[in-house]
Amino acid sequence: MEESENLQHQERTEDEAGVEQIKQIKVEVEPSGFKIGGENSTDLIRSLKELNGQAIEDLEERKVGEYSVRIISNLLDILASDNDFVISQGLTHQDLARVLREASVNYESEKRGKIFNYKGNRYLLGLNLMKRNVLSPFKDDTDTSIIFYIANLDNDEKIGLSPALLIEMIERYGFYGGREYRIEPSQIIKVFPHLREEGKKRLLARGIKKDVADLLNPDEEK
């Protein structure tokens, strides 16, 4: 893939970075009952015949354009597994997409990498620009020409170069990537450790007994 040169880094405080809450997209309910941009049961996901009007078998074979994000052959299994894991952590796909989106606002406006404080940790964010857009295989009119990376400088956890379009797909469908690019949901939690505490509080509020070690060390998806 062709990319521009790495962009320079600049340190900023949390206030200077302008970290802000990002509104979630409007939830759309499909005929199947699947909520695009909302929470869905794993049983519903496993029963899907289509997603955003696209047949599952077509999505599994689709590659839109030279730089599109490829879907994998066992799409429903991956969606179901990721959904089970995220729910087990007391979180939603929208929670994980939100932190990536909130972090991204710190460099998208000026197109350069930055070091800044966010939720009690220092982060390095950067981007590269591609010469062609990455198109969504879900045919939802979303695309990107941005490849981003995020590193937590306090715990050395990082998310490698990934198309910014993955943020949209995580938020809309709970899809974390296919053959060419994938961000493990467990890695997002490692990079943004405040999510662990948020999830823990929710689980306790629901009266769900959960091994705290699983929450503090989400190394394996279940």
Domain ranges of the chain: 1-18+25-213
Is the model more confident about 6 or about 199? 199
- The chain-wide mean pLDDT, for the chain, equals 79
Half-sphere exposure for 128 (CA within 13 Å, toward CB): 16
pLDDT for 214: 52
Where does the pLDDT of residue 178 fall: very low under 50, low under 70, confident under 90, or very high at 90 and above? Answer: confident
Is the model more confident about 170 or about 146? 170
Where does the pLDDT of residue 9 fall: very low under 50, low under 70, confident under 90, or very high at 90 and above? Answer: very low
- Rounded to whole angstroms, how far apart are CA atoms 167 and 177? 10
pLDDT for 5: 30
- CB contact at 8 A, 9 and 114: yes
Q: Is the pLDDT of residue 4 over 60?
A: no
Percent of the chain with pLDDT over 90: 45
Q: Is the pLDDT of residue 51 over 50?
A: yes
Taking residues 181-194, report their average pLDDT.
94
**Short-list 58, 156, 150, 167, CA closest to 107:** 150
pLDDT for 193: 96
pLDDT for 68: 56
pLDDT for 71: 66
Q: Is the pLDDT of residue 25 over 80?
A: no
Is the model more confident about 132 or about 34? 34
**Short-list 91, 94, 97, 155, CA closest to 123:** 155
